[in-house]
Amino acid sequence: MSASSASKGAKPAKKSSVSPAKGGTTTAEKKQATPAAKKPQNQSNKGLVRPAPRAKVRRARLVVSKVDTWSVLKLAFLLSVALGIITVVASLVLWLVLNLTGLFDGINEMLSMLGGNAGGTDIKEFLSLGNVALFATIISVVNVILLTALSVLGALLYNIAAALIGGIGVTLTDD
């Protein structure tokens, strides 16, 4: 008998859906593995998930070798404008509080007692709300100009110094 006639008489083998040569499992292996893999519903899965191992803290040492003067100008301008707004609002609130507490009237009484003049100077005419707001606004505008100019000058001086000595070293860590 030849090899081809012997193979005709034998039962044909079942074809598996996955070839074992490719590293997969056959359907027969899957049927055997499934009953063992099933767990009862009432057991908890506490042991299945493990926490990730804690990684080492990474550190990077960087050097600030140059500061962009245009970005310093924009940031300094915005911060000084915010400071100017705070100055104006704070001075107006302070004037209102002093007026409500009667401090200006007390100062007028004290000045009239010291000066002897009954119709003397009124401090409210000199320190009126409009004058205080105007003075605070002028101070704020001058501060905006000075702080912006000084910040840009500081950035330019830092760039010159960093070119000579290397800049500021910064260490960053990954927590």
The predicted pLDDT at position 28 comes to: 52
CA pair distance 69, 66, nearest whole angstrom: 9
pLDDT at 1: 47
- Specify whether the backbone of 87 is left (phi greater than 0), alpha (psi in -120 to 50) or beta: alpha
pLDDT of residue 7: 47
Mean pLDDT of 134-149: 97
pTM of the predicted protein model: 0.59
3-state SS string for the chain: CCHHHHHHHCCCCCCCCCCHHHCCCCHHHHHHHHHHHCCCCCCCCCCCCCCCCCCCCCEEEEEECCCCHHHHHHHHHHHHHHHHHHHHHHHHHHHHHHHHHCHHHHHHHHHHHHHCCCCCCCHHHHCCHHHHHHHHHHHHHHHHHHHHHHHHHHHHHHHHHHHHHCCEEEEEECC
pLDDT exceeds cutoff 90 at 127: no
**pLDDT top residue among 56 and 175:** 56
Mean pLDDT on 122-138: 90
Please determine, for residue 160, whether its predicted confidence score (pLDDT) is greater than 60: yes
Mean pLDDT, the chain, rounded, equals 80
pLDDT digits (tens, 9 = 90+) for 15-70: 544 545 555 555 555 555 555 555 555 555 666 777 777 777 888 888 989 999 99
> What pLDDT, in 10s, does the model give residues 101-111?
989 888 888 88
